[in-house]
Structure formats: structure tokens, C-alpha cells
């Protein structure tokens, strides 16, 4: 069976795993802890090929018809 690259699909927003420094900046900016962010499973096809680790923060850039682009964050958790 042929493996599909979900990163190339037009309906899948861009997913970026942040570095520890970037993660610390986001947590400081929003004055939040990782427990307060929505979750994404480590097995999610959008990030599975990016070698995620539990506790990583993922930046998701979504296209918006009104705002152009919106940024959303999720924390990686076990399935």
C-alpha cells in the first residue's frame, strides 16, 4: 500500500515542532503551562514523521479566509 504524505495535502495545516527555547518563549508569552494547551497525539499523521516527543509544543499555522493565517499551539501527548 502506498504511503500518503499528509504534509502535502492542501487541507492539512503546517505543523512545526518548536525548539525548547521557542517553547519557553510561548509559555512565557501566554503565562501558561503545558497542561493548559490543547493536546495532539504523538501518533497523529501530521507530526508522526517529525519525530515528536511527549511534551513537545507544536505550532500549527492555519489558513483563514478572514485573517490570512492563524497560529495555534498543541502539546504532544501519548496515545
Residue 34 CA to residue 74 CA, distance in Å, equals: 9
With respect to residue 26, please indicate whether it lies within any of the assigned structural domains. Answer: yes
Number of domains in the chain: 1
Decide if pLDDT at 16 tops 90. Answer: yes
Per-residue pLDDT reduced to its tens digit, 47-70: 999 999 999 999 999 998 898 999
Domain range holding 11? 6-77
Per-residue pLDDT reduced to its tens digit, 20-43: 999 999 999 999 999 999 999 999
Residue 72 CA to residue 79 CA, distance in Å, equals: 20
Q: Is the pTM for the entire model greater than 0.85? A: yes
* 10 — pLDDT class (breaks 50, 70, 90): confident
With respect to residue 1, please indicate whether it lies within any of the assigned structural domains. Answer: no
Nine-digit cell at 72? 495555534
Decide if pLDDT at 4 tops 80. Answer: no
pLDDT at 8: 82
CATH number at residue 43: 3.90.940.20
Contact 56, 73 (CB under 8 A): no
Amino acid at each position: 500500500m502506498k504511503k500518503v504524505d499528509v504534509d502535502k495535502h492542501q487541507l492539512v495545516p503546517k505543523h512545526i515542532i518548536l525548539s525548547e527555547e521557542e517553547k519557553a518563549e510561548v509559555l512565557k508569552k501566554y503565562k501558561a503551562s503545558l497542561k493548559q494547551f490543547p493536546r495532539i497525539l504523538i501518533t497523529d499523521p501530521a507530526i508522526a514523521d517529525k519525530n515528536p516527543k511527549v511534551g513537545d509544543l507544536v505550532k500549527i499555522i492555519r489558513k483563514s479566509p478572514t485573517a490570512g493565517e492563524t497560529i495555534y499551539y498543541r502539546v504532544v501527548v501519548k496515545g
